[in-house]
Amino acid sequence: MKAFFHGKILESEPHEVCAVYDAKDGRIVHVHEIVRWPGSPESSKHTLERRGLEIAAKMGHAVSKLKALRLEPIAFDRGKRYRIDPRSERLIEIQRPASLLPAGLQVARKLKAGRKKAAAPRNRRRKRTKR
């Protein structure tokens, strides 16, 4: 990740990711990420996890039933769905059947399939007549 600061390009230092999950079934309810910039202090493991749980509480989750797990950022791909195995505390990718697409894609495909080629728009402007 890059940022501009006083006209200079800054490269971020390695960032940290924490998944907040339901301790019973492993469902991830929040993913907390901290991006550090050169010169910023390192956060402790407990700070990252505590902040992730605080945000989950603000989102309305019962924190007493949740746990936080620090993850390697490279192991977590935003385009995929995951859960945490509560016993081994490992990240597990959830495989979706090929027939299941995100709702937006399903709607877009239905619209595209039902749409006929539209005719070119006509100029509907009226001609002015002289009075």
Amino acid letter at 75?
A: A
Q: Are 54 and 29 in contact (CB under 8 A)?
A: no
Highest mean pLDDT among 7-11, 30-34, 81-85 belongs to 81-85
The DSSP code sequence of 42-86 is PPPHHHHHHHHHHHHHHTT--GGGEEEEEE-GGG--TTS-EEEET
pLDDT at 31 over 70: yes
Instruction: List pLDDT tens digits, range 69-126.
Output: 998 888 777 778 899 999 999 999 988 665 555 555 556 666 666 655 555 555 556 6
Q: Are 81 and 93 in contact (CB under 8 A)?
A: yes
Share of the chain above pLDDT 90, in %: 31
- Output the pLDDT for position 36: 74
Distance CA 120, CA 73 (A): 49
- Output the pLDDT for position 41: 72
Rounded to two decimals, what is the model's pTM? 0.62
Report the run of H or E that residue 34 belongs to, with start and end: strand 28-36
